[in-house]
Chain A
Amino acid sequence: MKFGVVVFPGTWSDCDFHHVVSEVVHQPVKYIWHRERDLGDVDCVILPGGFSYGDYLRAGAVAGRSPVVDAIRDFAAKGGLVLGSCNGFQILCEAGLLPGALMRNECLQYRCQSTSLVVDNVDTPFTRGLRPGQVLTMPISHGEGKYHVEPGTLAEMRAKHQIVFRYATADGQVTRAANPNGSLENIAGVMNEGGTVLGLMPHPERAAESVVGGTDGLLLFQSLLGALVEDGTFLKR
């Protein structure tokens, strides 16, 4: 599977994603500069975290209207896979590729911590190697991660299983205390109707090697590659 990692001025997780794709899951990967209008030959585009264009006006607002995002819109319309993490999630919402918006954390603090996420939908290319209700541990690092969406849209999203990850306790209970940023219904990650565009505030790329303290993020990459077998073990390369 060929990956492209988009780089805006102010992106900071591009190298981490590039490293995981090339050195951990051993797939071809290239950087895509924000001025590009042609993504080239890729199967999955990654929008990493950071502070694109300084996050001026609103987080992801300017990036959401940049030339490369127009190309990503076309790519997504043709069924291409798009993964946005942290600022990448904010950009996908600002671009209208995902419903809702991300606001200032309710606690007003920048939150940089480990979180537990319960998986609500495993019928996606990004989560198909997971069990329903499985709990993953991944870090968050953001000041604007409080997910908001209008009630009508939320009901539609629920019906179409577009809510993929929710903040939970270590044993998978979705509680107020487990919500680090005040997100509506503890939402941490959502996808589009077609299941091809996923955005999440946590950082899977920062939990993809045991040396950094966890490998649950790797499960998303492994799901994408179809390398997981039914019993939860990885296929040997």
Chain B
Amino acid sequence: MKVRVLVRLRPGIMDVQGAAVQRALVGLGFSDLRELRVGKVVEVDVDAPNEAAAKQRVDQMCTKLLANPVLEDYTIETIEGKITV
């Protein structure tokens, strides 16, 4: 079962990386850019009998390592197809 985790900085936490990327894009002519935040994608292939079990397992991975609750929120979704490496 293939699962995608999106890890983002929690709302209200300043994203200095995102701010730098935003400045660069505005400099490239994207003056309509209103907000930009950078996050992380983690794609996981987990051996699980069904979607719920896979998501639960990946949720444990997030709690244990993939996200830092002081700074980050995460969302989990199942994905179709092969993970591109």
Contacts and interface: CB of A to CB of B under 8 A. Distances in A.
Given A57-B65, A62-B65, A150 B70 contact: yes
A141 interface: no
A100 B69 CA distance: 10
B14 A108 contact: no
B16 A104 contact: yes
Contact of A61 (B14, B16, B20, B68): B68
**Interface of chain B: mostly helix, strand, loop or mixed:** helix
Contact of A94 (B14, B20, B66, B68): B68
A29 B60 CA distance: 38
Contacts of B71: 101, 103, 148
Given A62-B65, A65-B65, A100 B70 contact: yes
Interface string A52-67: 0000011001100100
B34 interface: no
A106 B68 contact: no
Interface of A: 57-58, 61-62, 65, 93-94, 100-101, 103-108, 146, 148-150, 182
Given A57-B65, A101-B70, A150-B70, 17 more contacts: A58-B68, A61-B68, A62-B65, A93-B70, A100-B70, A101-B68, A103-B16, A104-B16, A104-B17, A105-B16, A106-B14, A106-B16, A108-B17, A108-B20, A148-B70, A148-B71, A149-B70
A182 B64 CA distance: 28
Interface of B: 13-14, 16-17, 20, 64-66, 68, 70-71
Contacts of B13: 103, 148
In this complex, the member of A57, A62, A149 whose beta carbon has the largest number of chain B beta carbons within 10 angstroms is: A57
24 contacts: A57-B65, A61-B65, A61-B68, A62-B65, A65-B64, A65-B65, A93-B70, A94-B68, A100-B70, A101-B70, A103-B16, A104-B17, A105-B16, A106-B16, A107-B16, A108-B16, A108-B17, A108-B20, A146-B16, A148-B70, A148-B71, A149-B70, A150-B70, A182-B14
